[in-house]
């Protein structure tokens, strides 16, 4: 079958890479894609935010399956538009995508469904927000309710800082419209993990666990980013914890949506904090995690095309997923300056040498200039390797990265450290 993937980042490269290797898939196309994706798919230059353009493209290409990678077109209702024309789509409709598009909606739904999560209040009025904050003690978590590319969460270390952050968000200074409503949350302590599920109506199929590193710098310091590296499986997610997340978090949330007449078809991504009181939901996304998708796809043995088509056609029941026993680890290489501003168009060399060491280089923010690969985004590459352990996968990636020739890029040197610590102690 012919599959169209929408998006052009590292997640979409990993999806296209895996779909190309799926026996059920004869052709992969990707809009807009990127120069790395072009090795695995035919790229067509329609942007993931151009909903009309994408609908026209699907009408023209008539793919058997459309896989929507990023949240923006989902929240904008692309899946609804395509389903209305009877295309098979993997990705939720607009109403279900609100789980990611509005943190306030997600928290309210979790409350209704009795899902364990941090205590919270939502506010649109700065004075009311301040009153709430002054009743709590620091640290306090302040979140822009709308989409903010993973950057809209501030952990304030003092009450005064929390007030300033909330006022700034509500004034529209830091996240524009996304900050016109804020969620004020209790700070949870623990280790974080990403629990992803392929969902089709009542059927919820868990993926193997993964963990990403959201902080910009080594030792998990610095501001939050979309993710600077990831690995799978995450040793902190035992079988018991995975079952608990499925039963206490994923199932009740999907059921609560259903109670509101909302069906979910796509990936449910639960960001989890493993607290002393058990796993609690930090957030939901309605798509594969990025970079988590990269180690996950590197380990998936099943035919991805078949699984996603079964979900899109509501016949996921009975489908199982096979995983490579190896661990997989991805290190993100970002442009100097990310998550702030950075210089685009710098030439990136040595990519073949990096892969020759035994890695797969997934392209996230790359472009092409005069035949050379250049940076075009904040997160640029996801260098990924398999290993008998997370430590071995990590060693391969960092050895390979010595061959990367790009002075304007940087990466964390400690991706996987929590897993390594656990592996050492076992």
Contacting positions for ligand GLY (CB under 6 A): 150, 212, 226-227, 285, 289-290, 292
CA dist 324 and 280 (Å) reads 28
Q: How far is the CB of 421 from ligand AMP (least distance, A)?
A: 18
| H or E segment to which residue 94 belongs | helix 94-101
Identify the residue whose tokens are 């050379």: 372
- Does residue 115 bind ligand AMP (CB under 6 A)? no
Please choose which of ligand AMP, ligand GLY, none residue 282 contacts, taking the beta carbon within 5 to 8 angstroms, the exact cut-off set by kind.
ligand AMP
- Residue 49 to residue 58: CA distance in whole angstroms: 14
Residue 53: Cβ-neighbour burial (10 angstroms; 0-12, 13-18, 19+):
middle
DSSP secondary structure of 232-275:
ES-TTS-HHHHHHHIIIIIHHHHHHHHHTT---EEEEEEEEEEE
Task: Name residues whose C-beta falls within 8 Å of residue 230's C-beta, 6 or more positions apart in sequence.
Answer: 194, 210, 211, 212, 213, 289, 291, 292, 294, 295, 329, 330, 415
Q: CB nearer to ligand GLY: give 232 or 346.
A: 232
Q: What is the DSSP code (8-state) at residue 114?
A: T
Tokens of 186: 């209790």
Residue 141 partner contact from ligand AMP, ligand GLY, none using kind-dependent CB cut-offs of 5 to 8 Å: ligand AMP
| Number of residues located near ligand AMP, criterion CB under 6 A | 15
Residue 224 binds: one of ligand AMP, ligand GLY, none (C-beta under 5 to 8 A by kind): ligand AMP
Dist. CA 190–CA 10, nearest whole Å: 28
Which 21-80 residues touch ligand AMP, going by CB under 6 A? none
Distance in Å, CB of 178 to ligand GLY, minimum: 15
CA distances from 404 to 36, 196, 342, 345 (A): 15, 31, 19, 16
Residue 12 or 130: the one with the smaller Cβ distance to ligand GLY is 12
For helices 304-312 and 10-20, what crossing angle results, to 10°?
A: 110
Which CB atom, from 250 or from 311, has the smaller least distance to ligand AMP?
250
Q: Write the binding mask 138 to 177 for ligand AMP: x where contact by CB under 6 A, - elsewhere.
A: ---x-x---------x-x----------------------
Binding piece for ligand AMP, criterion CB under 6 A, among 83-91, 181-189, 203-211, 327-335:
181-189
Q: In whole angstroms, how close is the CB of 285 to ligand GLY at the nearest point?
A: 5
Stretch that binds ligand AMP, among 44-52, 182-190, 306-314, 364-372 (CB under 6 A): 182-190
Q: Which does 118 bind (CB under 5 to 8 A by kind): ligand AMP, ligand GLY, none?
A: ligand AMP
The residues, any chain, with a CB within 8 Å of residue 134's CB and separated by 6 or more, are: 159, 163
Instruction: Pick the closer one to ligand GLY by CB: 188 or 310.
Output: 188
249 in contact with ligand AMP (CB under 6 A): no
CB of 196 to ligand GLY, least distance (A): 10
- Of residues 187 through 226, those in contact with ligand AMP by CB under 6 A are 187-188, 192, 214, 224
Instruction: Summarize as ranges the residues that interact with ligand AMP (CB under 6 A).
Output: 118, 141, 143, 153, 155, 185-188, 192, 214, 224, 271, 282-283
């Amino acid at each position: 079958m012919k599959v169209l993937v929408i998006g052009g980042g590292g997640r979409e490269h990993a999806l296209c890479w895996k779909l190309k290797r799926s026996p059920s898939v004869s052709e992969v196309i990707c809009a807009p894609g990127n120069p790395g994706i072009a090795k695995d798919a035919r790229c067509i230059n329609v942007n993931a935010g151009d909903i009309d353009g994408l609908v026209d493209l699907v009408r023209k290409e008539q793919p058997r399956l459309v896989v929507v990678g990023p949240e923006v077109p989902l929240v904008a209702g692309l899946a609804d538009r395509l389903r209305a024309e009877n295309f098979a789509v993997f990705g939720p409709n607009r109403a279900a995508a609100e789980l990611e598009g509005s943190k306030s909606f997600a928290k309210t739904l979790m409350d209704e469904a009795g899902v364990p999560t941090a205590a919270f209040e939502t506010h649109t009025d700065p004075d009311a927000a301040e009153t709430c904050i002054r009743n709590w003690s620091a640290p306090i978590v302040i979140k822009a309710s709308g989409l903010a590319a993973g950057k809209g969460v501030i952990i304030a270390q003092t009450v005064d800082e929390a007030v300033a952050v909330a006022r700034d968000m509500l004034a529209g200074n830091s996240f524009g419209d996304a900050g016109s409503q804020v969620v004020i949350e209790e700070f949870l302590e623990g280790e974080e993990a990403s629990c992803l599920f392929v969902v089709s109506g009542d059927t919820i199929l868990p993926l193997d666990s993964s963990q990403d590193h959201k902080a910009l710098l080594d030792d998990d310091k610095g501001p939050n980013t979309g993710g600077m590296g990831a690995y799978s499986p995450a040793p902190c997610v035992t079988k018991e914890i995975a079952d608990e997340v499925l039963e206490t978090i994923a199932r009740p949330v999907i059921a609560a949506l259903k109670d509101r007449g909302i069906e979910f078809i796509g990936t449910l991504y639960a960001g989890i904090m493993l607290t002393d009181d058990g796993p609690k939901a930090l957030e939901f996304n309605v798509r594969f995690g990025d970079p988590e998708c990269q180690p996950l796809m590197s380990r998936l043995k099943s035919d991805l095309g078949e699984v996603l088509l079964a979900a899109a056609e509501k016949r996921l029941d009975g489908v199982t997923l096979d995983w490579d026993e190896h661990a997989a680890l991805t290190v993100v290489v970002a442009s100097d300056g990310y998550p702030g501003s950075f210089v685009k168009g710098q030439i990136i060399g040595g990519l073949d040498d990096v892969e020759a060491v035994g890695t797969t280089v997934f392209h996230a923010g790359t472009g092409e200039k005069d035949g050379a690969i250049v940076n075009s985004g904040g997160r640029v590459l996801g260098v990924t390797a398999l290993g008998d352990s997370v430590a071995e996968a990590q060693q391969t990636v960092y050895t390979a990265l010595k061959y990367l020739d790009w002075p304007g890029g940087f990466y964390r040197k400690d991706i996987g450290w929590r897993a390594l610590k656990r592996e050492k102690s076992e």
